[in-house]
């Protein structure tokens, strides 16, 4: 149901690689381990750390696809497996979700300018809510695309759905940081979380918690409410936060 512990396995793999000189390992196993570690360090860590941020998801997914295609030069098997898996999880490369990249600081102004231009073009995509690339696209054409290629007249639905004032689109992207409507919109989208990743972590937590303290459903729900309230009072581990008194 979830892969929330995959990064833990990745950390274990890196630790084993660091200690490989002190361990008895077959050459074949050691080579496979180093292949995994190379993938983790060069390609996986950064996307994983940012995967919870919905505002970065569209552009990051596309960049990760391209980096995995380029990874063919290093390891064809890893590249093929990663692309095959990722191609079924491109929820954020849809018309509406692609508009989130307007608020992504990693996307340059030239790309944002082309995104705005495509808002007025009648070029709706042929895919639905989830982008599933064809075999032809996975073989080549997909990697020539940029995030603005996923923007269409449908993309403005994001502004309607989130009740965002899109008047900043009439200005140059270089002026957006000083635009009030853009600032308000960015605050709103910056707190959005990628649903799939957040859900997987919640599922993992519940599976570990289930039956650990109590098997009675009523008591379990009571404990969950206590945890929720506790997190509101202590949202982080800062010293100033931990000094707060718990008030029932």
As a whole number of angstroms, the distance between CA 121 and CA 117 comes to 7
Cα(15)–Cα(9) distance, rounded to whole angstroms?
10
Identify whether 200 is part of a domain.
no
Domain co-membership, 87 together with 131: yes
Short-list 124, 38, 30, CA closest to 79: 38
Q: Is residue 21 situated within a structural domain?
A: no
What is the spatial distance between Cα 187 and Cα 25, in angstroms, rounded to a whole number?
A: 51
Domain presence at residue 96: yes
Total number of domains constituting the chain: 2
242 and 188 both lie in a single domain: no
| Among the listed residues 60, 169, 81, the one whose alpha carbon sits nearest the alpha carbon of residue 120 | 169
- 222 falls within a domain: yes
Within-domain flag for 208: no
Task: Look at residue 99 in the predicted model and tell me its pLDDT.
Answer: 95
Is residue 223 within 8 Å of 212, Cβ to Cβ? no
Of residues 7 and 169, the one with the higher pLDDT is 169
In the predicted model, is pLDDT for residue 64 greater than 80?
Answer: yes
Q: Residues 165, 218: one domain?
A: no
Residues 126, 244: one domain? no
For residue 131, is it within any domain?
yes
> Do the beta carbons of residue 166 and residue 188 sit within 8 Å?
no
In this structure, the answer to whether residues 218 and 108 fall within a common structural domain is no
pLDDT digits over 138-196, tens only? 667 788 889 999 998 989 999 999 999 999 999 999 999 999 999 999 999 999 988 76
Do 236 and 147 lie in one domain? The reply is: no
Q: Is residue 242 part of a domain?
A: yes
pTM for the whole structure: 0.74
Q: What is the pLDDT of residues 214-235, one digit of tens each?
A: 777 888 888 888 888 888 888 8
Shared-domain flag, residues 95 and 163: yes
Domain extent, residue 242, equals: 213-248
| 93-117 confidence digits (pLDDT tens) | 888 999 999 999 999 999 999 999 9
**What is the three-state SS of 77-131?**
HHHHHHHHHHCCCCCCCCHHHHHHHHHCCCCCHHHHHHHHHHHCCCCCCCCCCCC
Residues 241 and 165 in one domain: no
**Same domain for 84 and 182?**
yes
Classify residue 228: in a domain, yes or no: yes
Do residues 73 and 185 share a domain?
Answer: yes
Nearest Cα neighbor of 3 from 173, 196, 220 is 196
One domain, residues 59 and 160: yes
Other beta carbons within 10 Å of 47: 16
């Amino acid at each position: 149901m979830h892969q929330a512990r995959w990064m833990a396995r990745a950390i274990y793999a890196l630790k084993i690689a660091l200690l490989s000189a002190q361990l008895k390992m077959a050459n074949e196993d050691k080579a496979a381990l180093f292949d995994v570690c190379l993938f983790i360090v060069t390609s996986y860590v950064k996307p994983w750390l940012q995967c919870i941020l919905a505002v970065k998801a569209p552009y990051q997914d596309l960049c990760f696809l391209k980096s995995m295609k380029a990874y063919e030069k290093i390891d064809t098997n890893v590249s093929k497996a990663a692309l095959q898996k990722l191609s079924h999880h491109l929820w954020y490369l849809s018309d509406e979700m692609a508009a989130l990249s307007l608020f992504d600081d990693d996307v340059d102004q030239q790309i944002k300018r082309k995104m705005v231009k495509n808002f007025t073009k009648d070029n709706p995509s042929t895919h639905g809510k989830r982008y599933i690339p064809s075999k032809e696209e996975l073989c080549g054409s997909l990697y020539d695309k940029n995030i603005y290629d996923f923007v269409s007249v449908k993309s403005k639905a994001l502004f309607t759905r989130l009740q965002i004032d899109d008047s900043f689109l009439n200005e140059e992207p270089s002026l957006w940081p000083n635009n009030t409507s853009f600032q308000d919109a960015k605050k709103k989208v910056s707190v959005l979380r990628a649903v799939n990743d957040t859900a997987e972590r919640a599922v993992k937590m519940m599976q570990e918690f289930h039956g650990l303290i109590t098997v009675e459903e009523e008591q379990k729900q009571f404990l969950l409410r206590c945890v929720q309230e506790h997190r509101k009072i202590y949202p982080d581990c800062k010293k100033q936060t931990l000094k707060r008194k718990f008030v029932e």
